[in-house]
């Protein structure tokens, strides 16, 4: 099927504007509560180097938990298989910031995308890099092949000031021996990484290695092909937390969401795409971005389930 992606994205942007999606912007991080709620953007980057855009596809927003994907890829490059002794690979069926499974499972997070797992990944980066948040940012620059992406210092400060729950998760894991560094340093790095600001087009381009067996356009190898496949599997099963099953049902693609309203999706072998709109549903995922990706996957026929 030959698809006119440029036209399809314009159609989807117009349809989403008509939908007038409900939901609220994330306000547990005060700096995010100030974001204009009704913005929408979408971008597609194909493995043959084309980028298609509609709406506010070039407007930077807070990538929040989408950063967990880049942090995980970087940690895997440094730590390899040993990482999986400290973090599981199962969906949690709980919200992203839940503590409930940690006591029963002795401080081993279910997966690297719930906050507990992402904090372990950040702990690994803190052991491996003197400035872990800079390491994640420089990794993003490497993926993009250019600099210019930055950390929004206001958002990072705002989240750090309101990070009691993540602090509780980190201390709890430390009590089980699964967080090795200083909790304050891990939270500093984690909040900074979540506060990276990127646009839909930048996110789609940066994640292309996940659609291309671990290689960025131009051939630079970021991950071995089996690790890229495994990250896609984790995105499908855990990337949208307790909405992962519903996302697989509706969209049929590996995705990673963030409370900034972005959702990144991978079409293995073909493309990476990102939709963004700040209003969130009860699971903390963007209502309009999910609707847009659902429409795109159906119209372009790109669900991994055929």
- For residues 3-62, which are near ligand DON according to CB under 6 A? none
Closer to ligand DON by Cβ: residue 252 or 284: 284
52 is catalytic: no
Q: With respect to ligand DON, which residue has the nearer C-beta, 192 or 300?
A: 192
Compute the distance between CA of residue 26 and CA of residue 234 in angstroms, rounded to an integer: 24
* 46, 234 contact by CB (below 8 A): no
Pick the catalytic residue from 241, 256, 272, 302: 241
CB of 223 to ligand DON, least distance (A): 22
How many C-beta atoms lie closer than 10 Å to residue 82's C-beta?
A: 11
The whole-angstrom separation of Cα 306 and Cα 296 is 14
Smaller CB distance to ligand DON: residue 178 or 285? 285
Rounded distance between C-alpha atoms, residue 57 and residue 200, angstroms: 5
Among 97, 167, 270, 299, binds ligand DON (CB under 6 A): 97
96 lies in the binding site for ligand DON (CB under 6 A)? yes
By the rule CB under 6 A, 166 interacts with ligand DON: yes
Report yes or no: 126 and 273 within 8 Å, Cβ to Cβ: no
Between residues 166 and 287, which has the closer beta carbon with respect to ligand DON?
Answer: 166
272: annotated active-site residue: no
Task: Specify the pairing of strand 255-257 against strand 262-267.
Answer: antiparallel
State yes or no: residue 65 binds ligand DON (CB under 6 A): yes
DSSP β-ladder status, 196-198 and 41-46? unpaired
Footprint of ligand DON on 283-302 (CB under 6 A): 284-285
Whether 68 sits among the annotated catalytic residues: the reply is yes
Under rule CB under 6 A, which residues in 236-265 are in contact with ligand DON? 257-259
Binding mask 135-164 for ligand DON (x = CB under 6 A): ------------------------x-----
Cβ 53 to ligand DON, closest distance in Å? 23
User: Which DSSP letter does residue 239 get?
Assistant: T
Give the residue with the Cβ less far from ligand DON, 216 or 285: 285
> Is 70 among the residues that bind ligand DON (CB under 6 A)?
no
DSSP secondary structure letter of residue 46: E
Binding of ligand DON at residue 94 (CB under 6 A)?
no
In the chain, where does DSSP find H-type helix? 5-19, 30-33, 67-79, 100-104, 115-128, 132-144, 153-161, 164-175, 183-194, 200-206, 225-238, 244-250, 287-300
Q: Are 124 and 75 in contact (CB under 8 A)?
A: yes
Site residues for ligand DON, 106-125, by CB under 6 A, read: 115
Q: In what order do the strands lie in the sheet with 61-62?
A: 61-62, 196-198, 150-151
- Chain residues in the site for ligand DON (CB under 6 A): 64-65, 96-97, 115, 159, 166, 194, 257-259, 284-285
Point out the residues that are catalytic: 65, 68, 190, 241, 259
């Amino acid at each position: 099927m030959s698809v006119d992606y440029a036209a399809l994205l314009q159609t989807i942007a117009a349809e989403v504007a008509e939908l007038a999606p409900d939901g609220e912007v994330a306000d547990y991080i005060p700096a995010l509560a100030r974001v204009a709620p009704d913005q929408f953007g979408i971008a597609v980057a194909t493995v043959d180097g084309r980028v298609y855009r509609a709406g506010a596809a070039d407007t930077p927003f807070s990538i929040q938990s989408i950063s967990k994907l880049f942090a995980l890829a970087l940690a895997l490059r440094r730590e390899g298989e040993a990482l999986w002794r400290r973090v599981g690979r199962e969906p949690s069926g709980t919200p992203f910031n839940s503590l409930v499974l940690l006591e029963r499972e002795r401080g081993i997070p279910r997966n690297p995308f719930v906050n507990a797992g992402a904090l372990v990944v950040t702990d690994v980066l803190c052991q491996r890099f003197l400035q872990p948040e800079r390491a994640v940012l420089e990794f993003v620059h490497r993926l993009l092949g250019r600099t210019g992406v930055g950390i929004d210092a206001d958002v990072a400060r705002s989240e750090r000031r309101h990070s009691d729950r993540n602090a509780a998760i980190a201390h709890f894991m430390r009590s089980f021996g699964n967080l090795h560094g200083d909790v304050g340093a891990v939270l500093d790095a984690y909040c900074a990484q979540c506060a990276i600001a990127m646009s839909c087009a930048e996110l789609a381009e940066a994640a292309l290695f996940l659609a291309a067996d671990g290689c960025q356009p131009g051939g630079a190898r970021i991950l071995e092909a089996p690790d890229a496949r495994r990250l896609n599997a984790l995105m499908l099963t855990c990337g949208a937390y307790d909405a992962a099953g519903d996302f697989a049902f509706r969209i049929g693609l590996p995705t990673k969401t963030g409370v900034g309203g972005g959702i990144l999706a991978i079409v293995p072998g073909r493309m990476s795409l990102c939709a963004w709109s700040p209003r969130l549903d009860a699971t903390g995922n963007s209502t309009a971005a999910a609707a847009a990706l659902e429409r795109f996957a159906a119209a372009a026929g790109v669900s991994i389930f055929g």
